[in-house]
Homo-oligomer: A and B are copies of this chain.
């Protein structure tokens, strides 16, 4: 499948916006840095806008800028704005309910999924866009 890279692109774009402070940035410019089509960026910005992370303006001299300070934007917010976190999917077809395992396995797997989800979200909640920018600027730091 074409893997979902929306989160990566979102972080990239938001980092660009953060570096530009209050200046409005055009989707064309962002697209060149991300190396994709401007419409892909605009679609993404739309999701970020719905999550109240950015503000856009149409028209001449339009563009997008952050709606908050970088330290107020956690990566969890970004993730929830553009991605879904399921590490694995449950059965595509309902298991046979006449079978003891089939009748109960989805409940168990669902619980596991929830637990893993919480772990992922916990990790993401620890970082803000500010941390990302600092990591980008510091070649010695991992995240």
Contact = CB atoms under 8 A, between A and B. Distances in A.
A107 B134 CA distance: 12
Given A93-B35, A108-B143, A143-B115, A88 B5 contact: yes
B123 A135 contact: no
Given A5-B91, A15-B101, A32 B123 contact: no
A142 B115 CA distance: 9
A134 B100 CA distance: 13
Interface of A: 1-9, 11-12, 15-16, 19, 32-36, 75, 79, 83, 85-96, 99-102, 104-109, 111-112, 114-116, 119-120, 122-124, 127, 132, 135-137, 139, 142-143
